Amino acid sequence: MTDDEQDREAADLVAAQWSRLLEDDGETVDPATVRAAHARPRLRQLFPGVSHGVMFFSRCTGFPAAQVGGQVYPRHEGRIRVRGPLGVGTLGTVDTLEEAFALVVSSLPEGCGPAVLATRTRSGDGRAAEPGPIAAAPPTGTAAPGPRRAP
């Protein structure tokens, strides 16, 4: 498969995942959350995921995901909590979904482009993926220590 074919397939998978989430009736995630994330062009090019109502973004189309930017949690007591990738650290607690996804976008690594046809541990051609940064550091003074999950 050529690079162009891989890019096209990755873009198709990203678009299909966004469509599934946008068409969700609220059973998986609050539809307003998905719409607010989808309104951000930089997030639209990443592979969106949801687990237990928490929305996250990956640089890769497969699993395990290469999470970037942060995770947006369901509203609790009127506020929205935004944690770092993999749920590590707190980027902030905000009042609106727009603010939440602005935090996620501001935490994306420099040069974080469209999702690729791969997983965090495997490249698109089946070779072991190069380990590299999967997340930008949270803004200074906002990260709370938290448990790290094993890759």
Residues of the chain with pLDDT under 70: 122-151
pLDDT for residue 119:
78
Q: Where are the domains of the chain?
A: 3-106
pLDDT for residue 128:
38
pLDDT for residue 65:
87
pLDDT for residue 123:
52
DSSP 55-71: EEEESBSSSS--EEEEE
d(CA 56, CA 108): 12
pLDDT for residue 14:
97
